[in-house]
Amino acid sequence: MSKIKPSKGAPYARILGVGGYRPTRVVPNEVILETIDSSDEWIRSRSGIVTRHWASDEETVAMMSIEASGKAIAAAGITPEQIGAVIVSTVSHFKQTPAVATEIAHKIGAGRPAAFDISAGCAGFGYGLTLAKGMIVEGSAEHVLVIGVERLSDLTDLEDRATAFLFGDGAGAVVVGPSQVPAIGPTVWGSEGDKSETIKQTVSWNELHIGDVSNLPLDSKGEIKFPAITQEGQAVFRWAVYEMAKVAQQALEAAGISPEDLDVFIPHQANMRIIDSMVKTLKLPEHVTVARDIESTGNTSAASIPLAMERLLATGQAKSGDTALVIGFGAGLVYAATVVTLP
């Protein structure tokens, strides 16, 4: 017989508060067209994006996260000292170590919580949410701060016609805490590493460190390009539309609900055509509010779901207590989907 005492966590977990931060600089498509041969009409028709936010030098990954976290903590009605863990999902924090989560935890006044970063691309928020739920039910933390944050403008090749218009910057955060009723459903998540080349960084940091120009991409001036995110657009589109709709359906089934039971659908804001195709494939009823934050925010990877959630609640398009399906998918290729009750 084991001598280990059983965990004394909460019976369930829920999202208690959400917050977001969008950089002050708004970048319209016209700015993107200064470096690629395209048109505003083409960008809108291909992606649905009209504007995106790009961070200034002062709007760092940590700074944006701290701003979003403060709003989420206030909305949750707790104090920073009650945060027992900080999870940050990002691919654009360029310091290998320490984790930016430790800096954020200190600067928000959280005391001495567990703090770590995860790299799960555009599914990162879902991964973090799942980890937070497990901590609360297991009893290792009572409140967990989950942050999705990106400065993808730093990883954008402005001469790449396929991706220059896609990416934006921002941070979204939620506080996850105890609940007496189910409010975060089972997560359907996974990876398809055989497709890892469809979304990737152009060159590794090690290749850049070695500096062999013969192996590195050059810009129009003949200078070495900084590593950027590139993708095979058509392959990603097909995968997202067909495979992720199946994952979304599995998440609904795991939560024991049907599309008719949903109030809100918050998919990763990757592409408006992908979002619309998923809505059609899932046969979502007309009453379901669909997040289309990508129009003014662009693709912010790990930040896109909490940013879209925050905007829906702030504008009254969604309300506290609504049942929402969230799904993130991207580089890896990785994915995570679950059903949640909105804070």
Which residues are part of the catalytic machinery? Answer: 122, 268, 299
How many other CB atoms are there within 10 angstroms of residue 178's CB atom? 18
DSSP per residue over 192-256, as a string? -GGGGGGEEESS-HHHHHHT-GGGS-B-TTSPBPPP-EEE-HHHHHHIIIIIHHHHHHHHHHHHT
How many other CB atoms are there within 10 angstroms of residue 59's CB atom? 21
Q: Which of 100, 119, 120, 97 is CA-nearest to residue 108?
A: 100
Length of the chain: 343
Between the two ends of the chain, the Cα-to-Cα distance in Å is 41
Residue 298 Cα distances to 153, 168, 308, angstroms: 11, 5, 11
Phi and psi (nearest 5°) for 197?
Answer: -80, -10
Structure tokens belonging to residue 288: 């379901």
Q: Which of 78, 65, 86, 62 is CA-nearest to residue 19?
A: 65
Beta strands in the chain (DSSP E): 12-21, 25-28, 51-54, 85-89, 114-118, 144-151, 169-179, 188-191, 199-201, 229-231, 264-267, 289-290, 323-330, 334-341
How many other CB atoms are there within 10 angstroms of residue 145's CB atom? 35
Q: Which of 314, 272, 265 is CA-nearest to residue 288?
A: 265
Please name the residue that has the structure tokens 């977990």. 13
At 70, the amino acid letter reads G
